[in-house]
Amino acid sequence: RQAQIGVTGLAVMGSNLARNFARHGHTVAVHNRTAAKTRALVEEFGHEGDFVPAESAREFVAALERPRRLVIMVKAGAATDAVIDEFAELLEPGDMIMDGGNAHFEDTRRREAALKERGLHFVGCGISGGEEGALNGPSIMPGGSAESYRALGPLLESISAKVDGEPCCAHIGPDGAGHFVKMVHNGIEYADMQLIAEAYDLLRKVAGYEPAQIADIFRKWNTGRLDSYLIEITAEVLAHTDADTGGPFVDIVADRAEQKGTGRWTVQTALDLGVPVSGIAEAVFARSVSGHAELRAAAADLPGPERPELHPDDAARFTEHVEQALYASKIVAYAQGWHLIQTGGEQYGWDIDRASVAAIWRGGCIIRARFLDEIRAAYRGGQAPVTLLTDPTFGEALRAAQNAWRHVVARATELGVPAPGFSAALAYYDTLRAGRLPAALVQGQRDYFGAHTYQRTDKDGSYHTLWGGDRSERKE
């Protein structure tokens, strides 16, 4: 019997994806470099659906109906290239190779171009939702040709998360578009997590609440506009008690946040494309600084302000302000992410539907949230806003939140509690709304020391002032 789809690379993500296909009634060929894993998968989960185990690459390819749909789930980087090379030899024109790993979109572009020469479709596909999502319904972001989506899309849509009956899977655009959008998803995820962590820190250090109380605050927030997977799990983590010490779990975890690199890629790409993603950058740097034990130890005795205890009424009011600041900062982080998607789409000619990206992130992925309905609405039909900040719904939320937002950032600063995410988000907001920026002065400095020239507000052309001479102005 012939399989509709094949999965090679049967670590947890690959196994779960294969099981998800099988549970949805698809016949799935399964293969792994080490064949013992293939046998183990079929032994343990064979009853869940129709698996065709293959011991060799050749057997695996022969098991697939044509055009072949082959999913690679191995480590990003050299392993992915090795597996692509191995299978490209065995495939025929029209066959499809989908890479469901976390590849860099530039690698995906390179691989797609190389395989196209051989008549093969290469689909770089972002998959979000972790191991649990891969099994029960992830958010899926496939790139590659429209033709490959016609063949692969229905299978992918069938295994994706669903929201209001809509699959959390859509064709993002050609070549690297899917992995690009997945990368931005992760960058936004870093920012969202950092903002939530700052809200916790302020509620603890300024308002004086204990982790269990803050868990309750987050649970309450999760019934409102902040309703999201990340807020939900944050409440769970904060409510958790360490079995060894009997104290809050959050107090015994080493405070060094690690990273696998997709947040860094997002910021590097944004720098290359000239897109200000300051909220995401601060989140990446916040993880980085947390890991610099030597810097933190050296600076531990630097002076800070006194922190007075808050009256319970003031703590309750401050909590409301933190909710406003968190929501406003979150809007900024997502606005920056969508700006990056827009610019990447223009730079690489992808024509990405930004409403559809919001739609497929409503379920399955780590940043899934009610909030994404609003972003979808902002980009759906009519004129897309230049920035999410000026969309009527978000603009109104920012207008209502801005005083509380400023108050929270000011209190954090006065009391010496670092809030880089909240602060960067507010600075971005104020930068965009400022009529004049001191960038004018920077242009003057550049012209002074480097004769870099400047433009004037009142007439066209480039100008240079003879700073070392009589300071007269020349049109260049």
Q: Cβ of residue 430: shortest distance to ligand 2AM, in angstroms?
A: 46
CA 54 vs CA 51, 210, 346, 378: distances in Å: 9, 54, 42, 47
Least distance (Å) between residue 75 CB and ligand 2AM = 5
Least distance in angstroms from the C-beta of 463 to ligand 2AM: 58
Q: Closest CB to ligand 2AM among 74 and 193?
A: 74
* Alpha-carbon gap, residue 64 to 98, rounded angstroms: 14
Minimum distance from residue 226 beta carbon to ligand 2AM (Å):
36
Per DSSP, 3 falls in state: B
Measured from the Cβ of residue 372, the count of other Cβ atoms closer than 10 Å reads 21
| Active-site residue, selected from the candidate residues 112, 157, 189, 282 | 189
What minimum distance in Å lies between the beta carbon of 124 and ligand 2AM? 17
182 is catalytic: yes
Give the integer Cα–Cα distance in Å for 424 and 281: 9
Q: Count CA atoms closer than 13 A to 445's CA, side-chain side.
A: 5
Question: How far apart are the C-alpha atoms of 2 and 400, rounded to whole Å?
Answer: 59
Question: What is 185-197 written as a DSSP string?
Answer: HHHHHHHHHHHHH
Q: How far apart are CA 45 and CA 68, in angstroms?
A: 24
Q: Which of 247, 289, 287 shows the shortest CA–CA distance to 263? A: 287
Give the Cα separation of 81 and 421 in Å (integer): 37
Q: By the criterion CB under 6 A, which residues form the site for ligand 2AM?
A: 9-11, 32-34, 37, 74-75, 79, 82-83
> Residue 134 or residue 426: which is nearer to ligand 2AM going by CB?
134
Nearest to ligand 2AM of 83, 332 (CB atom): 83
Rounded CA-CA distance 304/149 in Å is: 57
Considering beta carbons, is residue 73 or 155 the nearer one to ligand 2AM?
A: 73
3-state helix, strand, coil in the chain (%, to 5): 55, 10, 35
- Nearer to ligand 2AM (CB atom), residue 124 or residue 337: 124
What minimum distance in Å lies between the beta carbon of 82 and ligand 2AM?
4
Tell me which of 182, 282, 323, 374 is the catalytic residue.
Answer: 182
Active site residue 189: yes
**Dihedral angle over CA of 414, 416, 418, 424, nearest 10:** 30
Please report, as a single letter, which amino acid is at residue 263: G
> What's the burial of 297, exposed, middle or buried (CB within 10 Å: 0-12/13-18/19+)?
exposed
Give the Cα separation of 445 and 439 in Å (integer): 10
Of 36 and 254, which has the nearer Cβ to ligand 2AM?
A: 36
Q: How far is the CB of 39 from ligand 2AM (least distance, A)?
A: 12
**Token pair for 263:** 């947040």
According to DSSP, the β-strands at 51-53 and 28-31 are parallel
Cβ count near 79 (within 10 Å) = 14
Supply the minimum distance, in Å, between the C-beta of residue 57 and ligand 2AM: 9
Cα angle 442-447-449, degrees, rounded to a multiple of 5: 95
**Which helix (DSSP H) or strand (DSSP E) does residue 53 occupy?**
strand 51-53
Per DSSP bridges, beta strands 139-142 and 454-455 are unpaired
Measured from the CB of residue 52, what is the shortest distance to ligand 2AM in angstroms? 17
Which residues are known catalytic residues? 182, 189
